Every structure is written in structure tokens, then in C-alpha cells.
Amino acid sequence: MSITLEEEIFGLAVNPFTKSPEMVRRFTLKNSKGMSVSVIQLGAIIQSVCLPDAYKKVDDVCLGFDDIASYVANKGAYIGGTLGRVANRVANGEYTVNDTKVAVTKNIEDKFQLHGGFVGFDSVIWEVVQKTSEGVVFRHVSPHGHEGYPGKLTALITYQLDNENRLWVRYEATTDRSTMVNLSSHAYFNLAGHGSGAKGLAEHTVEIAADHIVDTDELQIPTGKLTEVDDTVFDLRLPVLLRDRLMQFEDRQIKGYDNCFVVNGGQVQKAVAKVAKLVHPPSCRVLEVWTDQPGMQFYTANNIGSVVGKQCTRYVRHGSFCVETEKFPDAMNHPEFPSIGLEPNEKYRHDVLYWFKVEESWKCCCNNEQ
């Protein structure tokens, strides 16, 4: 059984550059194990990820919407979206290269830039350059000066599904002048089902192979330090239950995880390595995250108010998680961080693999019968 690809019209969206409506298509890859992944041209968004659990019950484990209007109305949550040109925060919306200051847009309270600015890669309509059972490839050409960034940046995203329930995502970019790039995905997952809410998320265990996190201030801007996770809520080197851990954030300013974990020893790798594993024991569903990147933002949907998602389900705070592989936030202002600079003769590349598994163990059964 090979992978199949289906294509359909998802809806109309306004192109932020031309201001005219364009047709947005949805592409669904399916494998022989009953898993399917849908991506749409708007934001190269991962719109759904369906897979069976240990009892052959199929659930959609990726949060999203059934229509364009909902994606537009809830743009601030970046649900499923591609983050770019620069994922995460840019302090004070500026950086300096060779004594030249570059000012980028400040889309958060006029204080800093988040996820690429007012029109990030989550809000543009990506063109389709390949659509086969081998995968779907999206392209976006970001004009010179867009959101303040120099250089015409040509970005490619490849989505591939295989029969091992692995979703492969590859980000590539080239530029015609010196610029900054740090792409990521803001897909929200819940292995109990996208609409299972805080109860479903609380049942997950999480494990992240990180000895440090990127230290941040009250605006979540990096200080430049890396903090050891020893004896803190951020020590996830052994699996912990999210229910127990999230309770420990009640007295903190930020109510949950929203931190860049230093993975892969804080260096870009030559190949992908396993950096995180999330397990939902009642369903036996597992998600492993493999990447070549030095950072992974782990986020527990602390800022989701109450959003109506697919099939009229309600998405709530602490009802899902994001595993955003990336280089560190605000890296252009911290020369000690892995560089996010890109020169005209270079190619940016970032690989991430979301490996969905069903791991049946005696523990699963016990948990289910309690």
C-alpha cells in the first residue's frame, strides 16, 4: 500500500499582498496504517492529523478549524501555522549587523516582534510546487523589506507521510542579500483528541532531552543566559505527568510551559535526533519529535481563551501542546546563540520529524481500567 494524496478546495482567503481573494486548497496524505495528514495553502498550516489509538479508534490529534474565516479570526493563536521569517521574539523589533541597525515591525504592544510580524508566514497563501504521494511542497517568496527584513527570501516547505506514521517536515530558504531566518511550526497537538481539552492534556506524560532552557525576562525576551533545569519544573529529562507539572505553575507569572528548551546540545545537527516524547497512556498514542535544530519551544496553550475549533469543539487553556523546533528566540541579538543569519550563497535547512506511534504496554491497560 502506497501513500495516497487527495486534493480539495478548502475556501477563499484574501491574499495579504494583492488584497484579492484566492482559492485555498487542502491536501490530504493517507498511509496504509489509517493515518492521514491534511495541510492547506493558507500559512502552509497543518490542518489535521488523524490516527488510530490502541483500540483502533481514529481521532484527529491536531487542533485546527474547518474554514478560513476561523483561521483569520483566531490569527493571534497561530493555530497550525508556519512561523517566519523569524519564529518567536525579536527584542525591541531590531537588530544590528556590521554596525547597521535593522528595524523590523513590532506587532506586540509596539514592544517587540513575534513570529515574523503583522503578516507572518502563517498568514500568507503558499503556492504549491509539488503534490504527489511523495509529499506536498509549498513555496513562498517573501519580498525584500517585508516586515522590515532585508532580502527577497524564497522559502520551501515539504510535507511527507510514510507508512511508519512519520510526518516529515523540511524547511528550506535562500536569500538574495544578507538576512535572518528561523522557521518553525505552531501546530497544537493533543494525543487524546483535538477536542479533549485540559482533561486530555493532563493525562499526557512529557519527556524532553534538555539540560538547559533559554533564560527569559518578564516579556519572555531572552537574557542571553542558558539556565540549568536541575531541580526545577523544567527538568523533563525523565517522563513526568503534565497534570502534576502544570499545577506547579499556579503561583508563577506565566501559567504553564512556554520555554525554548536547549536540545541537541544547543547545536545544529547533521541529522535529526530524538529530542522529545509525549505519551497519552489511556489511548497508548505517542508522539516523538526528532529534529536537527538546537531548540524546541514547548508550549502548553497557556494563552488560549476559549476558541471554537473543528466540529464545534471548544479549545481551552492547557488543552493542547506545541513542540516548535527552532533556533533560539532573538538569536540575532545574541551572538553567543547559534546564528540565524543567512547569506546569498547559503541555504537554510531545518528538518523535523513527528513520529506518531501506538505503544501498547501493560501500563496502558492498567491506566485504562482504573
Higher pLDDT, 256 or 362: 256
- Please state which of the ranges 47-61, 144-158, 349-363 shows the lowest mean pLDDT: 349-363
Grid cell in block for residue 145:
523589506
Give 241-270 pLDDT, tens digit per residue.
999 999 999 889 899 999 999 999 999 999
CA distances, 212 to each of 30, 232, 265 (Å): 37, 11, 9
The answer to whether residues 257 and 301 touch, using CB atoms and an 8 Å cutoff, is no
- pTM score: 0.96
Mean local confidence (pLDDT), 327-350: 98
Q: Quick one: pLDDT at residue 362? A: 56
Pairing status of strand 21-30 against strand 36-40 = antiparallel
Q: Quick one: pLDDT at residue 360? A: 83
Give 116-141 pLDDT, tens digit per residue.
999 999 999 999 999 999 999 999 99
pLDDT for residue 111 is more than 90 = yes
pLDDT for residue 355 is more than 60 = yes
Q: Which of 147, 288, 324, 326 is catalytic?
A: 324
Does 187 appear as a known binding residue? yes
Give 165-220 pLDDT, tens digit per residue.
999 999 999 999 999 999 999 999 999 999 999 999 999 999 999 999 999 998 89
Q: Quick one: pLDDT at residue 370? A: 39
CA geometry: angle at 174 spanning 170 and 176, to 5°?
Answer: 170
| Domains along the sequence of the chain with CATH | 4-358 (2.70.98.10)
Q: Who contacts 231 (Cβ-Cβ below 8 Å, separation ≥6)?
A: none
Annotated catalytic residue 186: yes
Q: What mean pLDDT, rounded, does the chain reach? A: 96
Does 170 appear as a known binding residue? no
- Please state which of the ranges 98-102, 256-260, 353-357 shows the lowest mean pLDDT: 98-102
Q: Who contacts 188 (Cβ-Cβ below 8 Å, separation ≥6)?
A: 62, 63, 79, 80, 194, 301, 315, 320, 321, 322
Q: Which of 115, 140, 186, 194 is catalytic?
A: 186
Give 289-321 pLDDT, tens digit per residue.
999 999 999 999 999 988 999 999 999 999 999
The answer to whether residues 48 and 58 touch, using CB atoms and an 8 Å cutoff, is no
In angstroms, rounded to a whole number, what is the distance separating the alpha carbons of residues 104 and 99? Answer: 16
Annotated catalytic residue 228: no
| 3-state per-residue secondary structure call for the chain | CCCEEEEEEEEEEECCCCCCEEEEEEEEEECCCCCEEEEECECCCEEEEEEECCCCCEEECECCCCCHHHHHHCHHHCCCCEECCECCEEHHHEEEECCEEEECCCCECCCEEECCCCCCCCCCECEEEEEECCEEEEEEEECCCHHHCCCCEEEEEEEEECCCCEEEEEEEEEECCCEECECEECCEECCCCCCCHHHHHHCCEEEECCCEEEEECCCCCEEEEEEECCCCCCCCCCCEEHHHHHHCCCCCCCCCCEEEEECHHHCCCCCCEEEEEEEECCCCEEEEEEECCCEEEEECCCCCCEEECHHHCEEECCCCEEEEEECCCCHHHCCCCCCCEECCCCCEEEEEEEEEEECCCHHHHHHHHC
